[in-house]
Amino acid sequence: MDNHSYRWVIVAAGGLLGCVAIGAMFSLPVFLRPMAEETGWSITGISTAMTFGFLAMAVASMAWGNLSDRFGPRPVVLTGSVVLAASLALASRAQALVEFQLLFGVLVGAATAAVFAPMMAAVMGWFDTQRGLAVSLVSAGMGMAPMTMAPLAAWLETGYGWRAAMLIVAGVAAALMIPASLLIRRPPALEATQSGIAADDAMPQMTVAQAVRSPQFITLMLANFFCCATHSGPIFHTVSYAVTCGIPMIAAVSIYSVEGLAGMFGRIGFGLAGDRFGAQRVLVLGLLAQAFGVLAYVFVSQLGGFYAVAAVVGFIYAGTMPLYAVIIRENFPLRMMGTIIGGTAMAGSLGMSTGPLLGGLIYDRFDSYALMYIGSWGMGLAAMLILLAFRPFPARQAPQMAAA
C-alpha cells in the first residue's frame, strides 16, 4: 500500500486506539456505585482516582510526546497499550482504596496519555492536505468511547460484577490496542531524512527549548487550558444540575448521550471548516460560541431545553479540540510535534481537572450551579481572547531564532 493510502490506516488505527483508551478510563463512572457498595469505599474516594487520572495525563503527556519524537510513535503507543491493559487488570484486583487510586488513577491516566499526543503528532506528519479532517476523524474515534466502551462496561458489570468486568475490559484493551499500535509508522517525511528535519518545516533551525519558550507555544497552552476549563464543569455537573431542576436521573443521564452524539458531527464539521477557512479563524469563532453555549444552561430547566443546549455545546466543544493540533503543525517543525502537542494536552488536562472541583465548591456554597456556568462563560471568553492574540511565526524570524 502506498503512503497516500496508508495514511488513512494511521487515522483508523488512531481512532480505534483513542476510543479504547479513553473508553477504558471513563468506564470508572459506570463502576462507581457498584464498587462503593461492594467495598465500602466512599464515592469521593473512588472519584478521586479520576482526578488522579487527569493529573497523571497532564504530567505524562509532554513526556510521551517527546519520546515519540525521539523514537517514533509505534514503541510509545505500544508501551502505553500494554501498561493500560496491565493497570486495568491490576486495578480490578485492588484490595485497598489507595491501591486502586494509584493503579487506576495514576497508571491508567499516564498510559492513556501515551495515545493522544503521539497519535495526533503522527497523523499531522502523514497529512500535507486535509489535516483538519484527518485529526478530527482520530478525535471522533475517541469520541465514540461513551457510546461503545461505556455500554460494554455497564453490560459486563450487571452480569459479572465490577471486578470481572474491569478485568474483561483490560483484556479487550489488550486485544484491540496492541495489534492496532503495530500498524503505526513514523511519518514518511521524517523517515526520508537522516536529520529528522522534514522538507516542509518552515523553521528547521528551531530547537525544542526555543519552541517551548516561544510566545506561540505559551499562547496555545493558555488557550487550551481555559478552553477545557470552560467545558469541564458543565460536562461533569450538568446531569446533577438537571436533577436539581426536577428531571429524573435516567432522563438526565441521556443529556450526555445527546452531547456525545452532537460531538461526533462537531469534530467532522469543524475539521472540514478548518481545512477550508483556516484552523485559527474557525477555532476563535468556536471558542466564542462555546462560551455562550455553556452560559445558555443557566436559562434552561426542562428536558427539551437541556437537550437543545447539550446538542449545541457538544457540537462546539468536541469540534474545537482537534484544531489546536492543526495550528501546531502549521507553526512548529514536524520533528517536535509530539512534544508540542503533548504540552498543549498537558494544559488541557489541567483545565479539565478544575471543573469538577470548582463546580462542586460553588454548588455547596450557594446551593446553585448558576455561578459555575457564568464562570465557565468568562473562562470561555478568556480562551477566545487569548487565541485571538496568537500570531504565527513570521518566516523572517527563523534566522533570528537560530542565532539565539
Q: Considering the entire predicted model, what is its pTM? A: 0.83
Nearest Cα residue to 202 out of 337, 396, 404 = 396
pLDDT at residue 343 in the model:
94
Q: How confident is the model at residue 237 (pLDDT cuts 50, 70, 90)?
A: confident
Nearest Cα residue to 305 out of 245, 348, 361 = 245
What's the mean pLDDT when you consider all of the chain?
88
> What CATH number is given for 202-392 in this structure?
1.20.1250.20
DSSP of 375-397, one letter per residue?
Answer: HHHHHHHHHHHHHHT--PPPTTH
Condensed to tens digits (0 to 9), the pLDDT of residues 176-207 reads: 999 999 999 988 877 655 445 555 555 667 88
Nearest Cα residue to 104 out of 114, 117, 82, 89 = 89
Instruction: Compute the average pLDDT of residues 315-338.
Output: 91
Q: What whole-number distance in Å separates Cα of residue 254 and Cα of residue 280?
A: 33
Q: Which three cell numbers stand for residue 221?
A: 497552552
Q: Tell me which amino acid residue 184 is.
A: I
The H-assigned helical ranges of 72-161 are 73-91, 97-100, 109-126, 131-143, 145-160
| Residue 292, pLDDT above cutoff 90 | yes
Residues sharing a CB contact under 8 Å with residue 2, sequence separation 6 or more, in sequence order: none
Q: Which three cell numbers stand for residue 398?
A: 527563523
Architecture of domain 1-192: Up-down Bundle (1.20)
Q: How confident is the model at residue 15 (pLDDT cuts 50, 70, 90)?
A: very high
Nearest Cα residue to 262 out of 194, 311, 189, 318 = 311
Q: Residue 126's CB: how many other CB atoms inside 10 A? A: 23
Nearest Cα residue to 211 out of 96, 328, 314, 69 = 328
Q: Residue 186's CB: how many other CB atoms inside 10 A? A: 17
Condensed to tens digits (0 to 9), the pLDDT of residues 124-135 reads: 889 888 888 898
Q: What whole-number distance in Å separates Cα of residue 121 and Cα of residue 342?
A: 9
Nearest Cα residue to 145 out of 273, 274, 22 = 22
| Residue 255, pLDDT above cutoff 70 | yes
Q: What whole-number distance in Å separates Cα of residue 17 and Cα of residue 245?
A: 38
| Residue 79, pLDDT above cutoff 90 | yes
Q: What whole-number distance in Å separates Cα of residue 395 and Cα of residue 253?
A: 50
Q: Which three cell numbers stand for residue 108?
A: 491508567
Q: Residue 311's CB: how many other CB atoms inside 10 A? A: 19
- Domain layout of the chain by residue ranges: 1-192, 202-392
Instruction: Compute the average pLDDT of residues 139-151.
Output: 81
The DSSP letter of residue 190 is H
Instruction: Compute the average pLDDT of residues 11-30.
Output: 90
